[in-house]
């Protein structure tokens, strides 16, 4: 056993660059795992600055100074955030309030439908099974209500923290964009002079991760807008809220579209029942999902991410359990990072060559 471990070590860790790179990875992972909540605003600012770097570079090529370009991009970012806060969030809040108000009526209709099942299908469904389902649903709703109350009680601290971050985040993004070269030069002093492995991994990731995150943002906006327009034209209640849910569902590959179909179908059913309007709405919704999977995704992510579906699902589950929504959103870029590291990791034969 010792000989096997020794051979594995000699095969993969004979290059000093490998040891240094492994040390950097371990330190980075430990920092994110154990101090993620404390450094999250910094990480978010770095990610936003990284994604905005392309626009700053384009403006720099048109003889704009880096300070001017960083100021313009930061201003656009702040304006977008303010638009979301003062225009979009109030609309979503109203629709959430209306949905909560309508929820008892929906539950009543659902209960009536369930109670009819033992009469219509006595060989398959019993009254005791229906009662058990209803009891479970009431218990879950009570628990959900308690969680909402506890969340509202702690929301004051969250609001204060949010506004503090609203001030700090644009400042950090601005300085990361403006002083990018100075920051990178300062960080380079802590790295070894021979950085071939780091350059190899970064060269592959620089294009893929930036393209993926930008493409995913564009995909969310397009699917959200298309779903909202379709739902609004059909007269579906809570069109903006459901459109946002459909747009955000693309964050989770393969699973998100399936999950978000349930509320869309339920609200459409409670509004129209099994009518032609319900059928047309579900057909349009299925068409949007078809265009997303067969046109939009290949167009935005062609050759960007080359991962097996199993690897994508495992990455979503693993990183989502670690960091919640952020872990789900960045699961595929992180999986791409791991793939690039494995691909570039030198072995004994490569070092010998």
Q: Assess if residue 209 is contained within a domain.
A: yes
pLDDT tens per residue across all 353 residues of the chain: 566 666 655 555 555 666 666 777 777 777 766 766 677 778 778 878 877 888 888 887 888 888 898 999 899 988 988 888 888 888 888 888 888 788 778 777 777 777 777 777 777 777 777 777 777 777 766 666 555 555 544 454 456 666 767 788 889 989 988 888 888 888 777 776 666 767 777 776 776 777 777 788 888 999 999 999 999 999 998 999 999 999 988 887 767 888 899 899 989 888 888 889 999 999 999 999 998 888 887 777 765 566 667 777 787 788 777 777 667 777 777 777 777 777 766 655 444 44
Contacts of 130 (CB under 8 A, 6+ apart): 114, 115, 117, 118
- The whole-angstrom separation of Cα 71 and Cα 55 is 12
- The whole-angstrom separation of Cα 181 and Cα 229 is 43
| Complete DSSP assignment for 63-93 | T--HHHHHHHHHHHHHHHHHHIIIIIHHHHH
pLDDT score, position 11: 59
Cα–Cα distance list, 275 to 19, 187, 282 (Å): 65, 63, 11
Contact 213, 290 (CB under 8 A): no
Enter the DSSP assignment of 217.
H
Contacts of 39 (CB under 8 A, 6+ apart): 31, 32
Q: Assess if residue 81 is contained within a domain.
A: no
To the question of pTM greater than 0.75 for the whole model, the response is: no
| Residue 278 neighbours by CB distance under 10 Å | 18
Summarised one tens digit per residue, pLDDT across range 52-94 is 888 888 887 888 888 898 999 899 988 988 888 888 888 888 8
Q: Assess if residue 227 is contained within a domain.
A: yes
How many domains does one find in the chain? 1
Q: Assess if residue 157 is contained within a domain.
A: no
Taking phi first (over 0 means left), then psi (-120 to 50 degrees means alpha), and beta for anything else, what does residue 87 get?
Answer: alpha
Q: Assess if residue 158 is contained within a domain.
A: no
Contact 110, 133 (CB under 8 A): no
The residue range of the domain holding 284 is 195-353
Enter the DSSP assignment of 296.
I
Contacts of 147 (CB under 8 A, 6+ apart): none
pLDDT score, position 350: 45
Nearest to 275, CA basis, from 240, 224, 235, 247: 235
Q: Assess if residue 128 is contained within a domain.
A: no
pLDDT score, position 153: 44
Taking phi first (over 0 means left), then psi (-120 to 50 degrees means alpha), and beta for anything else, what does residue 336 get?
Answer: alpha
Q: Assess if residue 339 is contained within a domain.
A: yes
| Residue 56 neighbours by CB distance under 10 Å | 21
Q: Assess if residue 182 is contained within a domain.
A: no
| Residue 190 neighbours by CB distance under 10 Å | 7
- The whole-angstrom separation of Cα 94 and Cα 205 is 41
């Amino acid at each position: 056993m010792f000989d096997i471990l020794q051979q594995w070590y000699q095969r993969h860790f004979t290059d000093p660059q490998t040891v240094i790179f492994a040390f950097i990875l371990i330190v980075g992972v430990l920092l994110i795992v154990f101090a993620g909540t404390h450094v999250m605003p910094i990480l978010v600012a770095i990610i936003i600055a990284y994604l905005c770097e392309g626009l700053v570079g384009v403006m720099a090529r048109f003889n704009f100074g880096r300070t001017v370009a960083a100021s313009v991009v930061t201003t656009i970012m702040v304006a977008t955030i303010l638009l979301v806060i003062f225009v979009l969030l109030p609309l979503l809040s109203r629709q959430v309030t209306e949905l909560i108000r309508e929820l008892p009526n929906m539950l009543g209709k659902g209960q009536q439908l369930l109670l009819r099942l033992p009469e219509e299908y006595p060989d398959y469904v019993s009254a005791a099974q229906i009662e058990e389902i209803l009891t479970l649903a009431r218990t879950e709703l009570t628990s959900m209500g308690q969680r909402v109350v506890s969340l509202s009680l702690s929301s004051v601290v969250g609001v204060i923290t949010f506004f503090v971050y609203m001030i700090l985040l644009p400042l950090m993004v601005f300085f990361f964009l403006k002083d990018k070269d100075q920051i990178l030069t300062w960080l380079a002093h802590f790295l070894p002079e021979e950085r071939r492995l780091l350059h190899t991994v970064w060269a592959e990731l620089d294009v893929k991760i930036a393209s993926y995150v930008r493409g995913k943002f564009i995909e969310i906006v397009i699917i959200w807008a298309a779903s909202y327009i379709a739902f609004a034209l059909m007269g579906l209640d809570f069109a903006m809220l459901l459109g946002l849910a459909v747009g955000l569902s693309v964050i989770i590959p393969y699973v998100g579209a399936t999950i978000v179909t349930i509320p869309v179908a339920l609200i459409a059913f409670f509004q129209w029942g099994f009518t032609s309007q319900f059928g047309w709405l579900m057909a349009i919704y299925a068409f949007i999902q078809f265009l997303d999977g067969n046109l939009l995704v290949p167009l935005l992510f062609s050759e960007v991410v080359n991962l097996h579906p199993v690897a994508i699902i495992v990455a979503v589950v693993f990183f989502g359990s670690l960091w919640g929504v952020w872990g789900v959103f960045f699961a595929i870029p992180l999986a791409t990072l791991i793939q690039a590291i494995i691909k570039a990791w030198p072995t004994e034969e490569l070092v010998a060559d």
